[in-house]
Amino acid sequence: MINGTKEKILENALELFAQSGYLGTSMSDIANRLGITKAALYKHYAGKQEILDSIILRMNELDTERAQAYDMPEGAAEEAAEAYSHTPEDRIRAYSKAQFIHWTEDKFSSDFRKMLTLEQYRDPKMAELYQEYLGSGPVRYMTAVFGKITGSDSQAEQLALEFYGPIFLLYSLYDGAENKEKIILMLDTHIDRFIEKIGK
């Protein structure tokens, strides 16, 4: 875990990245937000790339902490897939909801999602990160998990799309919704119906 000052820098930098984009934010902008000199900022981070690398590391730590908190299988998709087949439905339901809350209500993770959404069209590396965290990465992971259930790659991929597609859409609906609780209820209904469907 990084120290408090470095964590504060990451939080403020990421907030700026989410508002103005990674490319549109300078080290001077970050220093000004924090009320420190650029020289003081450079004592903690060598530049924006190091800040971004630390943000990604923090995101990965949050993923691990969340999986452990819900006692969910960890590791590569293929390794975790078998364990998922023995995981109780209630735990899968709770973890799926926790994942959504993570990407929408947790400030750090929500800002990370917004930064990637902004930057995916401007920077190829950001586009790769966007896909890995929010696009093809989750679909690939879920396809491996559902593959153990269906025994069919094409069926598994379809199930992954059916499960994740509405959740991906709900991220956008949540951001613009006045009644965010309604979006959470929609999420709950989607998860329940999907679990019911694959249980048949």
**Tokens representing 118?**
């902004």
**How far, in Å, CA of 194 to CA of 34, rounded?**
45
* pLDDT at residue 151 greater than cutoff 80: no
Each residue's pLDDT tens digit, 57-92: 999 999 888 888 877 766 666 666 666 666 677 888
Whether 66 contacts 106, CB under 8 Å: no
For 118-147, write each residue's pLDDT tens digit. Answer: 999 999 999 999 999 999 999 998 898 888
Contact 129, 122 (CB under 8 A): no
